[in-house]
Amino acid sequence: MPKSEFAPAKINLTLEILGRRADGYHELRSLVAFAHDAGDVVTLAPGSSASVETSGSFAGDISGSNLVDKAISAFAAKVPGMKPPRLILDKNLPVASGIGGGSADAAATLRLLSKSYPGIADRDLHTIARALGADVPVCVRARPVIMTGVGETLEEIALPQEVYAVLVNPLIAVPSNKTAHVFAALGAAPLTAPPEAEPAPRLSNVRDVIAYAKARGNDLQAPAQKLFPEIETVLAELHRTEGALFAQLSGAGPTCFALFATKQEAVAGASALRQRQPNWWIRPTRLG
């Protein structure tokens, strides 16, 4: 029987860019959550294959070598003699969308392969994940965290059970190096001193989550809107959607999210938004 691993969308509920480090990377602080039912699926099928098979709505948008291929190669380096696995990627998330699709796929691949090779310890997975990209370690864990450093330091945090969101992507064309363009447009100042550690916030209900997100914001939202003006349209549509309590950009975009108090309001909001914008990618989901 084939084995499958869900690769949930990663949502940056906040994203603070604290400064540019001497090594060129950016120091950040982010409250990260994951979608319960919006994501890709990676399946390990019988047999062997030199390349990943793709299916799903956005399979055609994948070009060249992707993070799944790199994850396989990095994992195989830990397992001498490992045959190339036959992996099938069901691509349901838009590509380069600010919700960690490629990173989530790579992370799901690592989790899936580790079940077949239980001798690979968690510390090895974390090491492999860090080498693949800043968002891969948090996607390996796939649980709510406060993410700091350049993405390698993860502090688990409890989110309320009832946090519902609508994810929206306008399906505009973006360059493969979109994030680099957004960071360049931000022009973060050099980091002059290590940031002070902060206690994790206590988030008892969706109102607490919204208050924290409003206070921290997403520092990439303004530069991303300059590069991709459609983001402003998406946010305006979310703000005018009945039941939406808060809306913001996730990551470097262009996917945005709105938070709702109940599942019913999120589903109704997504339905109303689809009627106004039938060509957008719109998904209601619970976050956790």
Q: Which residues are catalytic?
A: 10, 135
The answer to whether 100 is a known ligand-binding residue is yes
The answer to whether 269 is a known ligand-binding residue is no
The answer to whether 79 is a known ligand-binding residue is no
What 3-state class would DSSP assign to 84?
coil
The answer to whether 97 is a known ligand-binding residue is yes
The answer to whether 103 is a known ligand-binding residue is yes
What 3-state class would DSSP assign to 142?
coil
The answer to whether 146 is a known ligand-binding residue is no
116-146 exposure pattern, b = at least 16 Cβ within 10 A, e = fewer = eeeebeeebbbebbeebbbbbbbbbbbebbb
Which DSSP state fits 128?
H
The answer to whether 99 is a known ligand-binding residue is yes
Q: What span, in angstroms and rounded, lies between the C-alpha atoms of 137 and 115?
A: 17
Q: CB of 242 within 8 A of CB of 268? A: yes
Per DSSP, helices labelled H in 121-177 are 122-132, 136-141
The answer to whether 39 is a known ligand-binding residue is no
Q: E strands of 99-218, at which residues? A: 145-149, 153-156, 164-169
Q: What is the dihedral of CA 71, 178, 239, 18, to 10 degrees?
A: 80
The answer to whether 151 is a known ligand-binding residue is no
The answer to whether 210 is a known ligand-binding residue is no
What is the distance between the terminal CA atoms of the chain, rounded to a whole angstrom?
29
Counting beta carbons within 10 angstroms of the beta carbon of residue 13, is it exposed (0 to 12), middle (13 to 18) or buried (19 or more)?
buried
Binding residues for ATP: 94-104
| Binding-site residue set | 94-104
